[in-house]
Structure 1
Amino acid sequence: MALLIPKAGASVKLLAFLLLFVLTAGIAFCQQKDSNGVNADTIRRTDVEQLLIKQQQQNQLDSVLKEQWKNVLDSQPDKRRKALESNIGKILIEDSLRRARELKTIDSLKKITTGHPVMLHDDTLFLVYVGIGAFGTKERTQAITGKIKKIYELPFYYKDSFNIVNNGIDLDIVYNDITVLSVSNLDAMWFGQSKQQLAEHYKTIIAQEIDKEREEYSFKNRLRRILVALGTLAALLLLIRLINLFFRRIAGYARARRDRFFKGITFRKFQLISQRKHLSLFLRSLKFIKAGLILLMIYASLSFLFSLFPTTMGWTETLLSWILTPAKALWRAFVRFLPDLFTILVIYFVFNYLIKIIRYFVLEIEDEKIRLSGFHRDWAKPTFNILRFLLYAFMLVIIFPYLPGSHSPAFQGVSVFLGVLLSLGSSSAISNIVSGLVITYMRPFKLGDRVQIGDVIGDVIEKNMLVTRIRTIKNEDITIPNSSVLSSSTINYSSNTQATDTGLILHTTVTIGYDTPWKQVTNALIEAANRTDLILKQPAPFVLQTSLDDFYVSYQLNAYTKSPNESANIYSQLHQNIQDCCAEAGVEIMSPHYRSQRDGNTTTIPEQYWKEDPK
């Protein structure tokens, strides 16, 4: 850059040389800073101090040059003065640009430089960013903190004893003979203030903080805080006692008038909760509310007690944060979840109404108002249960991505773990479910049927997707897994007992000797069947001769009934009637195995049925 310097005296040449030197050095310095950039990972605290020192030296040199330029301009004629003023203006523009770049560099350093706090007890007074002399920032901060604590611990303290003293280089903040800290040009440049302004600011903060802390820790205030704390504890104990008494009275009142206020909870004539359970739930709710109130008062009292003493004042915020932080987090999570919750509700209502529509058609099929070819009415409810399960499962699959935390690794890990457990531990359950589905659509029996499954005979009282329950004639309830039902043979005694069916054939066998005519035996057996209750007259009973053995004939009586569930009673009465009818007909029920000829002893027929002297 060429400058037009008119021929003048030695002072003008010297001044121009100094200006060029300062301008060149400043431009080079700023260009170096601009080329290197501000890196938060590489700039150290010494870099900050060196930058401030260079800027301080530059400002001092600028002030000297300005004074010399003023003297030179005053001694020059008008023509030379105008030329010099033009050149000086160009230099000042370059100087202002350099200063702007330096301020930008300092602002960048402020963003990455962490100050050290000067503290009194738990309060931060101000931050120190630069060192002074041989003291680094950390050492300087420790020294200032120590002197402030020393003044705080003095037996007597006067707020107005703080003064600002100029030592020729820095401004010292002094309390009596204690120099608390020195405010340097570096400090002023860092904060963009004058030394006097910064020193006044520091003095005010230190004086007020020491005065406040001494007031808070005075004996009078400590005694007052202790009395307030004791009063708070006494009030807390009294309130807890009153709360216990209040809830005890309410519980006693509820017990005394249980018949008036607690009648149980019913839904559609079905009692969900009994009177005793209703009262028990109310009393437990009272205990829960009482415990919540007591804990809330204890929590509030502790927060108040901690706030009384300066040393524990910070604990109040910690104690409150234990409640407020989770509560705020839950509230924010709930607010974020609201759009997903609305989506879940819409999905639920759509599937719920779809299931209601399917239920309507199922009820119509059960009532035979709707008939489907090849679809039995007793399939309606099981089919509805299957469809409902599939729809709810599909609904959960759709809803799952909208659940809070569903995309977190922990949630997904738990889902995988539960899936593995279900697959490993439910093999037999799945087998029973599949067997239950097959049994449902095979229709081997229905509720109330008398069946024989394996060695078990009884009435079907329950069948579901997992098991079938049978009640025997001895009132024994036997549970059979559906997989066992499917793998074993099943006899249904009730399948042919409808109005259009002939009925179940009950049969029993008696053996009669060859000396008795078979027609006489047949008539006696048929008469016994006709006398038996629940035995049908049509189709008529009949007798089959099932075998001709060495000494007797086997007669099998067959009779129809439509009451298979009463087969045990029918058999018992039938056997009684067989004995009576055979005795009336003079037929002995016996299976003779001859060892010797009868010698004239009486027969096995009861005496009341004798017509002549039996042989």
Structure 2
Amino acid sequence: MLKRTCLVIILLLGILQAFAQPATKPVGEPVLLGNDTLFTLYAGQGLFTVKERTQVISKRLTDLTSRLDFNADSITIKNDTALCVISYKGELIMAVNNNDAALSELNRQQLATNFVSIIKKTLGNSIANNSVKQLLTDVLEAVAVIILLLILIWGVNRTFRWIKYRIFHSWDKRLAKLAEKGAPVNYAHRLLPVFINLLNILRLAIIVLMIYLALPVAFLIFPWTKPIATQLLSYVVDPLKRILFALLHYIPNLLTVLVIYLFTRYIIKLVKFIAVEISNGSFVIKNFYPEWAIPTYNIVRVLLYAFMFVVIFPYLPGSDSKVFQGVTVFLGILFSFGSSSAISNMVSGIVLTYMRPYKVGDRVKVGDVTGDVIEKNLLITRVRTIKNEDVTVPNATILAGATVNYTTSSKSLGLILNTSVTIGYDVPWQQVHDLLISAAISSEGVLSEPTPFVLQTGLNDFNVAYQLNAYTDKPQQMAVLYSRIHQNIQDKFNEAGVEIMSPHYSALRDGNTIQIPDGYKPTDYKKPGFNIEKD
């Protein structure tokens, strides 16, 4: 029974010990010599707190470094029942108590011996660094660094002078060859100062970088200036470290962005392949015209890239920054207000694409402009007139007005060219119809089928208005065809001895010669003269 009770008690003690919380170690304070930490104390002593105690010890050690007769072997340890006193030639440096040992893995004597070893080594190195010999050595090293820096600066300046000389020499030779070939060289002369200024900026940047890197090297030579050297190096090293770590941390997001981009790119390639095949007529989609293929591909490409940007935006570095978001919103507002007319033209261009009012190569009339369409995009349509004038018309203007297309039906129905003449009432209308139709058919570029026809559009005070209508499948030659038709009308009517009363006029016919060229008059033609009859 007693054994069982003992086993239960032992088991309970083990459980309590397993769940017992370990005592937390107090926060320590470092003992410093300059900016170097010698060791850390965790317990106070007497009326001194840990921080006050370490400050006093640090001050005593700093005072020892100023002694010219310092000897590290004069540091001794005196042990008693409660303290281990560390002193230098009888002057107290510090005391190690039992609390210090309790908070370390050593006993009091071992801990004091360890502190003495650290103090001797550190003070010995510090005093050695501050000796006259060491100081002289440090100064010579600093002078060597400065001399090396000056040599490097001289080398950089000489190198850049040689580069400038080579540029000037080769520049003159190349310009001479260009001038021999008749090429303009004034622009090249204006570019030379730009290159020289860029070289000067690069030279100054290299010199400044060399000086900046030489300063930490010089400051590292002297012990009391090492913190300055560390600070100067941190200005360069810390940003580079942050950039490197940021790049390393961004690799997973970068891979995600790359996958999204590649997926979108190959989808766009597939859409482009389909669009090109439809445009070439390789396969047909019902109610989808081939000329719609490429514009539709461009629209789909823009939408896919926009969707891709929306998806990858959260993975961009700094995308969650308020500054980044504010700049994005600001640029969006500027784009919205500054490109309203451009957006209007783009929307109009998309609408015109699917309305199909014209295509490249068509002869059209837009407002007062008549010519051939030579370019069509989302913003503008460019028309070349018969005078070789290139007129740029915004798509919004075209959508807001009427557009006449002379080409659309010219191949299937034929474009009707029409012109009007006025003929006197004394000429039979059948003869006028025959003459006009004959003039049209004899004009090169006018179709004989469908047959030209004539409309009588008016019975005026002194003449009859006839309108000739002729078919052609060459709308790009409209101006030339009208000229040929007018020439043939004059020839046909002159040959038939019929006057064209355009512009109309009134005249007393007796005594007047007929109004046709002399070459068309009969050889026995006589001027009628005035006839007076008396009743």
- Into which bin does the TM-score normalised by the smaller protein fall? 0.7 to 0.9
Matched residue SS, 1:108: coil
Task: Look up the equivalent residue of 2:224 and give its one-letter code.
Answer: T
1:570 matched to 2:481? The reply is yes
1:505 matched to 2:416? The reply is yes
Note the 1:244-283 alignment, pairs <5 A: 245-246=158-159, 249=162
Q: 1:591 aligns with which of 476, 488, 503?
A: 503
**Is the Cα contact below 8 Å between 2:57 and 2:94 reproduced in 1?**
yes
- The 1:614–1:247 alpha-carbon spacing in structure 2 relative to 1, beyond 3 Å, is farther
- The 1:252–1:138 alpha-carbon spacing in structure 2 relative to 1, beyond 3 Å, is same
State how far apart, in whole Å, the 1-side matches of 2:221 and 2:515 are. Answer: 110
**Is the Cα contact below 8 Å between 1:582 and 1:589 reproduced in 2?**
no
1:439 matched to 2:348? The reply is no
State how far apart, in whole Å, the 2-side matches of 1:482 and 1:282 are. Answer: 43
CA offset at residue 409 of structure 1?
6.0
Aligned to 1:384: 297
Q: Output one character per residue of 1:492-539: Cα deviation in whole Å (capped at 9) or x when no partner.
A: 1111222xx242122222334445555565555455545644333444
- Structure 1 stretch 547-556 or stretch 489-498: which is displaced more? 547-556
1:375 matched to 2:291? The reply is no
State which structure, 1 or 2, has the greater radius of gyration over its C-alpha atoms: 1
- Structure 1 stretch 549-558 or stretch 221-230: which is displaced more? 221-230
Task: Look up the equivalent residue of 2:215 and give its one-letter code.
Answer: L
Matched residue SS, 1:109: coil
CA offset at residue 293 of structure 1?
5.9
TM normalised by structure 2 equals: 0.75
- Structure 1 stretch 453-462 or stretch 281-290: which is displaced more? 281-290
Q: 2:470 aligns with which of 556, 559, 562?
A: 559
Note the 1:107-256 alignment, pairs <5 A: 108-110=24-26, 113-115=27-29, 117-165=30-78, 170-176=83-89, 178-191=91-104, 193-243=106-156, 245-246=158-159, 249=162
Matched residue SS, 2:25: helix
Q: Output one character per residue of 1:88-147: Cα deviation in whole Å (capped at 9) or x when no partner.
A: xxxxx9xxx9xx99x987x5132xx241x3333322233344433343334333333333
State how far apart, in whole Å, the 2-side matches of 1:184 and 1:522 are. Answer: 136
State how far apart, in whole Å, the 2-side matches of 1:575 and 1:240 are. Answer: 86
Task: Look up the equivalent residue of 1:544 and give its one-letter code.
Answer: L
Note the 1:383-402 alignment, pairs <5 A: 383-402=296-315
State how far apart, in whole Å, the 1-side matches of 2:244 and 2:267 are. Answer: 33
Q: 2:213 aligns with which of 293, 297, 300?
A: 300
CA offset at residue 588 of structure 1?
4.6
Aligned to 1:364: 277
**Is the Cα contact below 8 Å between 1:436 and 1:465 reproduced in 2?**
yes
Aligned to 1:353: 266
- The 1:334–1:149 alpha-carbon spacing in structure 2 relative to 1, beyond 3 Å, is closer
CA offset at residue 447 of structure 1?
0.7
Structure 2: 5+ residue stretches without partners: 1-9, 175-187, 529-535
- The 1:230–1:613 alpha-carbon spacing in structure 2 relative to 1, beyond 3 Å, is farther
**Is the Cα contact below 8 Å between 1:459 and 1:565 reproduced in 2?**
yes
- Identity score, percent: 44
CA offset at residue 346 of structure 1?
3.9
CA offset at residue 579 of structure 1?
4.8
**Is the Cα contact below 8 Å between 1:542 and 1:557 reproduced in 2?**
yes
- The 1:425–1:220 alpha-carbon spacing in structure 2 relative to 1, beyond 3 Å, is same
When the two chains are superposed, the root-mean-square deviation of aligned CA atoms in Å is: 4.5
1:451 matched to 2:367? The reply is no
Q: Output one character per residue of 1:225-283: Cα deviation in whole Å (capped at 9) or x when no partner.
A: 3333333233234334434544665676678779x99xxxxxxxxxxxxx99xx99999
TM normalised by structure 1 equals: 0.66
State how far apart, in whole Å, the 1-side matches of 2:119 and 2:391 are. Answer: 89
- The 1:536–1:231 alpha-carbon spacing in structure 2 relative to 1, beyond 3 Å, is farther
Aligned to 1:319: 232
- The 1:214–1:383 alpha-carbon spacing in structure 2 relative to 1, beyond 3 Å, is same
